[in-house]
Amino acid sequence: ADELKSWRPVGIYYGQILIGFAMYGYFQEPSANSQVWLDRLLIDKTYQGNGYGKTAVIALIERLSKEYNCHRIYLSVYDNNQAAIRLYKQIGFYFNGEYDINGENVMVYDLTE
């Protein structure tokens, strides 16, 4: 976020307690395929397993939808991060068969469905 102004970092709070971090951004491509990415989501291990991650993702989807008036939200995840994959699938993300520049599987949330 310090190097690219397209990234927007945000804190994730439980009341007044900072429990996590997220980062998202809008990337306008030369083609018509501009994309909104939820690039980072971290919940402190002390607070994991309490539903805060799911709540945060749902809130971020709503925020990104309003902020960018987008139809899809993208994220990427490593194969071995099964907890994150389960969470994202439960919310409605699906794999689109693509990989990002780091070799992570790309998932998409379609706001039109």
Question: Residue 62 maps to which CATH number?
Answer: 3.40.630.30
- What is residue 31's predicted lDDT score, i.e. its pLDDT? 57
Sequence-separated (6 or more) residues with CB below 8 Å from residue 32: none
The answer to pTM > 0.85 is yes
Q: What is the pLDDT of residue 74?
A: 96
What are 84-110's pLDDT values in tens digits? 999 999 999 999 999 988 999 999 999
Number of domains in the chain: 1
At a CB cut-off of 8 Å and minimum separation 6, what does 23 contact? 1, 7, 8, 9, 10, 39, 40
How many Cα atoms within 13 Å fall on the side-chain side of residue 110? 5
Q: Determine, yes or no, domain membership for 2.
A: no
Catalytic residue among 24, 74, 88, 109: 88
- Which domain, by its residues, includes 59? 7-110
Told to judge if 94 belongs to the known catalytic residues of this protein, a careful annotator would answer no
Q: Extract the residue ranges of the chain whose pLDDT is less than 50.
A: none
